[in-house]
Structure 1
């Protein structure tokens, strides 16, 4: 295991102001932590045979912006975070390759549009599962990865590397509180009260709702991650309730934002 190289990767991430970084060895995909698990074709080593490690980075979605969702404000934040993820993972992959360890970045989504996703609702790689195996969080009822720092309000990107980096431990504590706020708030009725993965999201219903928001230029939805009470970011922003509705000033601000920028 290359401890010095991992330290160099972490330092690069620190310089790029990436708050969440984790490493998983590719053999973790071969030993499913729960069932059902993904088919082998979705393993990183099936996509990039040289892969021995997966480096996962996470960037937060700012809660006050998310509270306006669905809106043009959250729409633009989502695009910005996605762009940064692609840039950061590309730079990390290039750095590792220059160090002598062939590496590639993985695009943050892996599908062309919401219409594509409606016809084939699976991307070629799951960053959420990679983040879980890299010790960054645990799955919630809302089918997202919850992190201690930001709850589910995080977007992830990954790098496949031939470098054998020391892996981080998988998070042992289950972060989901089973409050069911996400199930109750989902506008598409796409969530199930059962734990992940038994209560998998109704992808067709979720995608149909996303397609309508995309038509109005205010996708994605974001409501299931907006209401989740998990995450230190709630305290940082002074959000003591799931939607922040206890403050009339914030409510007026959200209502103002939602009136503009979309159909």
Structure 2
């Protein structure tokens, strides 16, 4: 079954696939661990495996963030994730394994996050338990291929599928770029899980951006140096994102994008 899932993902341009055993949520790996109500076995009793897929956000699409360009790409990736997780769940159901896709964003807009800055299920933790990456200072999941520039979706299934090993390395370099560049100082230098991001501050800032039609923020993921996508796009120097960086064709392009599409 795992080989069949991999083949299906390859045929649909889904580069990241991981499998987590549902029991992995019941074995705390650090403090503070995932509360019982937020675990797959509680949300969908009978779940045996969690399938996690990841779609990258192309680095050039978010370099002007916050901007309309990143906002639209963010929405596109989220839509694709919901469609793909739905289709995988349907295929599993047709094969006799009751399964359910979990929506990518389990909240009713950014205003709902301001009221309660947490979703009913964490795809980031699912991706971590499925061996796809490790947590960075910005509390995002870092992957070797794309750093934190990945969106994840999950499928709960009753099928017993061989799980992938959890990564034991640490991809974060503690460069402090996400800490220093956060517009609302929501990221702490201690890193996850000791230094939890101030989700309320982040949500409130996103609400301000949303009123301008340029949310989400995206700064902490665009400045992260992790990911082979940086070399692919010729963006090894993250100093290009600093406000005091010298003018360049890239900076002029970002300024052009930011000057359009916002309310």
TM-score (norm 2): 0.97
Residue of structure 1 in register with 2:254 after alignment: 254
Q: SS where residue 240 of structure 2 aligns?
A: coil
Query: CA offset at residue 52 of structure 1?
Result: 0.2
Residue of structure 1 in register with 2:219 after alignment: 223
Question: For the Cα contact (< 8 Å) 1:121–1:203, is it kept in 2?
Answer: yes
Q: Specify every segment of 5 or more residues in structure 2 that has no aligned partner in the other structure, as ranges.
A: none
- Give me the whole-angstrom Cα distance separating, in 2, the residues matched to 1:15 and 1:51: 26
- Give me the whole-angstrom Cα distance separating, in 1, the residues matched to 2:218 and 2:184: 12
Q: Specify every segment of 5 or more residues in structure 1 that has no aligned partner in the other structure, as ranges.
A: none
Q: Runs of 4+ in structure 1 displaced over 4 angstroms? A: none
* Structure-2 change in CA distance of 1:229 and 1:67 (3 Å): same
Cα offsets for 1:96-138 (capped at 9, x unmatched): 1111100000000100111111111110000000000000000
Query: CA offset at residue 244 of structure 1?
Result: 3.3
Query: CA offset at residue 81 of structure 1?
Result: 0.1
Query: How many matched pairs?
Result: 259
- Give me the whole-angstrom Cα distance separating, in 2, the residues matched to 1:221 and 1:138: 21
Cα offsets for 1:165-196 (capped at 9, x unmatched): 00001111100000100000000110110021
Alignment partner for residue 5 of structure 2, among 2, 9, 12?
9
Once the two structures are overlaid, the 10-residue window that deviates more, 244-253 or 94-103, is 244-253
Q: SS where residue 8 of structure 2 aligns?
A: helix
Residue of structure 2 in register with 1:156 after alignment: 152
Once the two structures are overlaid, the 10-residue window that deviates more, 209-218 or 10-19, is 10-19
CA root-mean-square deviation: 1.0
- Give me the whole-angstrom Cα distance separating, in 2, the residues matched to 1:252 and 1:30: 50
- Give me the whole-angstrom Cα distance separating, in 1, the residues matched to 2:111 and 2:13: 34
Q: Does 1:106 align with 2:96?
A: no
Residue of structure 2 in register with 1:19 after alignment: 15
Residue of structure 2 in register with 1:69 after alignment: 65
- Give me the whole-angstrom Cα distance separating, in 2, the residues matched to 1:47 and 1:16: 28
Cα offsets for 1:180-233 (capped at 9, x unmatched): 000000001101100211110111110110000000000000000010000000
Question: For the Cα contact (< 8 Å) 1:67–1:243, is it kept in 2?
Answer: no
Residue of structure 1 in register with 2:120 after alignment: 124
- Give me the whole-angstrom Cα distance separating, in 2, the residues matched to 1:94 and 1:199: 39
Q: SS where residue 160 of structure 1 aligns?
A: strand
Q: SS where residue 56 of structure 1 aligns?
A: strand
- Give me the whole-angstrom Cα distance separating, in 1, the residues matched to 2:222 and 2:63: 6
- Give me the whole-angstrom Cα distance separating, in 2, the residues matched to 1:247 and 1:61: 25
Residue of structure 1 in register with 2:229 after alignment: 233
TM-score (norm 1): 0.97
Query: CA offset at residue 243 of structure 1?
Result: 5.3
Residue of structure 1 in register with 2:184 after alignment: 188
